[in-house]
Amino acid sequence: MASRLVILHKNHLPANSRRIEALAETVYATEEELPLFLPGADALLAWWPLTEAVADAWPDDPAKAPRWVHVAAAGVEPFLFPALVDNPDVVLTNSRGVYDQPIAEYVLGLILALAKDLPGTWEHQRRHEWRPRDSERVGGRTVLVWGTGPIGRAVARLLRAVGMRVRGAGRESSADDPDFGTVHGPGTLRTALADADYVVLAAPLTPATRGMVDASVLAAMKPGARLVNVGRGPLVDEEALVAQLAEGRLAGAALDVFAQEPLPVGSPLWDLPGVIVSPHTAGEVTTWRTDLADLFLDNLIRRTEGRPLRNVVDKSHGYVTDRPA
């Protein structure tokens, strides 16, 4: 049993709080309160994961640091600070699996919205304008999914089901991947970009992936292609993306994540034609909070019983590798 569990929250608590409290002495803390309660705690549930408060409140004495940190998100980049990463006694877990299918469905919806110009249809409806026009097919179009983890694989399976030609991009190449068919490594990435009608970003944010879609990558994309980002905003050089979109070289983009969130009101991305902006909600379906809470409770039970935890993050990589960390 965890001697003391700290739950970092903001506006809401896990729906199964009472079941959690039955297994551990539980303390609820806001970002401001975290420095008071984190030292000496055995475990931390970062129910509010988009925060730098954990790094700021982390005890200087490694002996007072929590031995287990669980993040209620798939991405763990705010938690990869040296004091946590370098402490071999601290286990970091995430919420991999909760968002896979919801994000895949969202990506499909975004691609359909771009291909069928649904934003234009809604705008004509708002103006009471009857404007028949042609739209594009998605069947037979090529999509490159950059990121071959569980979310990228769920995206690949769903897009393949509607007839799209799916390819993957990752750290290692493969010619017979069960979900992507072909996975392009760094050596063949530019060729894959030049062939793709859609590029979907589903990679985690790590030092290796930050800024990976820079001006040269955008220039390597097929003219008239579209970019979909459901990974993390800092994967993309937004200034370079704006330039490509403003020139009309890229046909559009669907962006759910941004370098700065909320997206500043003065950002040109709000008004560029062919761009869909959504507020980091690709994975937020009606059941997401319950699913997150149930996953954590399962891990808490496992820890109480001395069984292996789910979704242990390899801290050297910044994501779950399914290999011993």
Distance between CA 271 and CA 148 in Å, rounded?
31
Residue 232: active-site member:
yes
pLDDT tens-place string over residues 151-163: 999 999 999 999 9
CA distances to 32, 148, 188, 206, 239 from 210, rounded to whole Å, are 29, 16, 20, 6, 14
End-to-end CA separation in angstroms for the chain: 23
pLDDT tens-place string over residues 260-284: 999 999 999 999 999 999 999 999 9
Which of these is catalytic: 96, 153, 232, 289? 232
Residue scoring higher pLDDT (2 or 235): 235
Domains 5-98+287-305 and 100-277 share a fold: yes
Average pLDDT, the chain: 96
Residue 2 has pLDDT above 70, yes or no: no
Residue 261: active-site member:
yes
pLDDT tens-place string over residues 113-157: 999 999 999 999 999 999 999 999 999 999 999 999 999 999 999
pLDDT tens-place string over residues 7-42: 999 988 999 999 999 999 999 999 999 999 999 999
Q: What is the pLDDT of residue 1?
A: 47
pLDDT tens-place string over residues 163-198: 999 999 999 999 999 999 999 999 999 999 999 999
The beta-carbon contacts of 173-179 under 8 Å, at least 24 apart in sequence, are: 177/148, 179/148, 179/153
Contacts of 206 (CB under 8 A, 6+ apart): 77, 80, 317, 318, 319
Which of these is catalytic: 131, 136, 261, 307? 261
> What is the pLDDT confidence band of residue 3, given thresholds at 50, 70 and 90?
confident
pLDDT tens-place string over residues 227-244: 999 999 999 999 999 999
The CATH architecture of the domain made up of 5-98+287-305 is 3-Layer(aba) Sandwich (3.40)
Is CATH 3.40.50.720 correct for 100-277? yes
Residue 77: active-site member:
no
* Per-domain boundaries in the chain: 5-98+287-305, 100-277
Which of these is catalytic: 4, 67, 190, 280? 280
Instruction: Provide the total of helices (H) and of strands (E) in the chain, helices listed first.
Output: 11, 13
pTM of the model: 0.94
